[in-house]
């Protein structure tokens, strides 16, 4: 996802982020002037640099600059940089877990093949995906995406660090049109995860012994 900039180019158009920046950047109350004068290319660059920094344990976040005229200005306030550093810590924690899960999946495939253990059919995998997907959608609809978003931040991030920013106080949230872009990225991740799930189900069918394959 990072090389694709988390779909920012696509969502930039869909969410009309350029107009959003031109509306709220002039209202900035933190002394960050002229951001509305920057180009879409600059916005794409900044989002990419934020993403890169987060995936590098937050290195370089506090040095990010934008150039409305000829004088570079620091993009992030201290509170914004601290929040993104908290996000970087979370990424650092989750990355080994993700790689570990992938390694475990490979081991399970090998073990199932060596021991002729029956694996679920592709149809069952698709049915599981649909059931889980519907359950998640219903849950989100009942609770509300904003409530889930807030609960997640309150649970994961340190209580003493600010994570909510008004557009008038944050070029970061203005640049991203948060939280709208996070909902869009979540949907994109969900679609990619669904494709990966079906691919792994197909791989499981390929490696599973035919005579032991479950079809129920």
Read off the pTM: 0.84
Domain boundaries, the chain: 5-212
pLDDT of residue 210: 55
For the chain, the three-class secondary structure string (H helix, E strand, C coil) is: CCCCHHHHHHHHHHCCHHHHHHHHHHHCCCCCCCHHHCCHHHHHHHHHHHHHHHCCCCCCHHHCEECCCCCCEECCCHHHHHHHHHHHHHHHHHHHHHHHHHHHHHHHHHHHHHCCCCCCCHHHHHHHHHHHHHHHHHHHHHHCHHHHHHHHHHHHCCCCCCCCCCHHHCHHHHHHCCCHHHHHHHHHHHHHHHHHHHHHHHHHHHHCCHHHCCCC
For the chain, 216 residues long, the average pLDDT of each consecutive 10-residue run is 78 96 96 95 96 95 93 96 97 93 85 77 80 90 91 94 96 96 91 85 67 46
- What integer pLDDT is reported at residue 214 of this predicted model? 46
- Structure confidence at residue 216 (pLDDT): 44
For residue 12, count other CB atoms closer than 10 A to its CB.
22
Residue 169 CA to residue 39 CA, distance in Å, equals: 20
Residue-level pLDDT at 97: 93
pLDDT value of position 207 = 63
Give the pLDDT confidence score for residue 133 in this predicted structure. Answer: 86
């Amino acid at each position: 996802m990072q090389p694709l900039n988390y779909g920012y180019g696509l969502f930039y158009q869909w969410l009309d982020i350029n107009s959003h920046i031109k509306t709220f950047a002039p209202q900035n109350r933190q002394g960050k002037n002229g951001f509305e004068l920057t180009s879409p290319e600059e916005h794409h660059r900044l989002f990419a640099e934020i993403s890169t920094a987060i995936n590098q344990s937050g290195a370089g976040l506090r040095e990010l600059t934008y150039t409305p005229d000829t004088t570079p200005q620091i993009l992030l306030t201290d509170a914004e940089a601290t929040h993104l550093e908290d996000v970087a810590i979370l990424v650092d924690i989750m990355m080994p877990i993700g790689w570990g899960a992938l390694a475990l999946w490979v081991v399970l495939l090998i073990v199932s093949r060596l021991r002729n253990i029956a694996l679920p059919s592709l149809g069952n995998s698709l049915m599981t995906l649909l059931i889980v997907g519907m359950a998640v959608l219903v849950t989100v609809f009942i609770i509300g995406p904003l409530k889930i978003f807030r609960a997640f931040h309150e649970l994961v991030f340190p209580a003493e660090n600010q994570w909510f920013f008004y557009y008038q106080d944050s070029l970061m949230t203005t640049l991203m049109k948060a939280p709208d872009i996070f909902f869009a990225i979540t949907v994109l991740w969900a679609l990619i995860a669904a494709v990966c799930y079906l691919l792994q189900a197909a791989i499981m069918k390929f490696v599973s012994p035919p005579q032991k394959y479950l079809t129920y």
